[in-house]
A and B are shown apart, each in its own frame.
Chain A
């Protein structure tokens, strides 16, 4: 099949339609707007629904309603917009509905800026909304991976009746790469048995997240946590590079992960035995892969476009077996491979202290490098 050269934002929009997206609800925000813009043109052409909501709050609640039919629906936004959607994500999770959302993360906190960032890791992976629930979070590092994961996101969302979130940043949204788009899947228009409007359901179907009776709510939560165990068993995804003989391992996802690949290759050229672990599913996290590496490598370097949100997860898994160091850029700044290469050298030549305060060390370096603006 012929390759096409397209931007990440547009590739995700195309992939969603090809996966059978029947309704989209969203509100424009840079650096995600092209995704919505592309759908605004293409969805009506295909006879499907595109609605620009009055706000992100409107959009996520429209998605909530549409998802009650069990048909393929999604929204997309960027960090501040996703913050607004958190209440809806908790309600949708509490109603066991399959939904796909895309967060093209931007520099923050607050209104921040439109530059690439990964600082929504915590809000998505560890829950930005209230109550105990999990999102499945997938982090593509290339346009092709974004296409593949978008199609898969709808399947997984339906399989577990959960929210699946694609987490990427504006540089992937804006970047063009050759991609092979999948064929159009037939669009499901009849609700499944559990959903509102299903011809198979004999009784009235009530979809809600309200559980006024605590024992009933607790039973529901036990069911959902049990389902999450299944997700953890089946849906962990990551990619390893040069791990076989690695003495040190860099861990990074998405854009930071692919930039780290350049640094890892440069280190290999110097004869350093460095590998790269690039988590693709951030939730469920590739815990076992990190755990096994911690038994055989001499140290880790975590690289993120944030203040070290995944770092805390890695530190907890490694549990002081070997040192875990950190390098990150914040606020919409993107590291060059050279910066990561330098952090790799620091790790290899460092003191190998398992009690290292990685974030503190890094922050001291950042105060020197960029200052505090005071």
Chain B
């Protein structure tokens, strides 16, 4: 098994952090995993993204031209990555940040009002966790509860107060299932 996941959005939306939570969870399950951010000019404006590769075997390339799944947190990310997803793959979109539906019909598309849900549970910045919850709720890359355990085990001390909210965000996101 190998899955490549790109998480992309504006800087500040927590795309890199969402990728790290996924990577920690994969590591704790004994998987091979890589997390690589885009770095360079695109960090200043435009999209901030990371690629997470999870595998049962030694990982070759840490990036993918045709990823298994994409979390698009804004319109530029949707425009850029929708065409690249492997047929049969997953596209999780922050519906609150785009003005169009996805056009591919050969992939699983999940439109999630992540900002709205995150506001409901108390902090718009949890939108990344909502979308990560949707991704894992559909793809089952890891064992049940792996992301929750990763948040509990790897959140820095000064951020521990956000764990409960982030876990709720994961659960709310996981309610969105592909048709």
Contact = CB atoms under 8 A, between A and B. Distances in A.
Interface of A: 3, 5, 31, 113-115, 170-171, 174-178, 258-265, 332, 334, 336-338
Nearest to B4: A262
B37 A174 contact: yes
Given A5-B20, A113-B40, A178 B63 contact: no
Contacts of A260: 60
Given A336-B63, A336-B65, 11 more contacts: A5-B20, A5-B23, A5-B27, A114-B40, A170-B39, A174-B39, A176-B23, A262-B60, A264-B60, A265-B60, A338-B66
B122 interface: no
A175 B35 contact: yes
A174 B36 contact: yes
Contacts, number: 61
A261 B33 CA distance: 15
A227 B157 CA distance: 51
A31 B64 CA distance: 22
B34 A176 contact: yes
B61 A175 contact: no
Given A31-B39, A176-B36, A3 B65 contact: no
7 contacts: A5-B20, A174-B36, A176-B20, A177-B34, A178-B32, A259-B60, A332-B40
B40 A258 contact: no
A170 B62 CA distance: 13
B38 to A, nearest CB: 9
What 5 A-B pairs have minimum CB-CB distances, sorted nearest first?
A: A262-B60, A261-B60, A176-B35, A262-B61, A336-B65
A193 B154 CA distance: 46
A338 B65 CA distance: 8
A198 B76 CA distance: 63
Contacts of B37: 174
B58 to A, nearest CB: 7
A45 to B, nearest CB: 18
A3 B26 CA distance: 12
Contacts of A334: 63
B121 interface: no
A261 B58 contact: yes
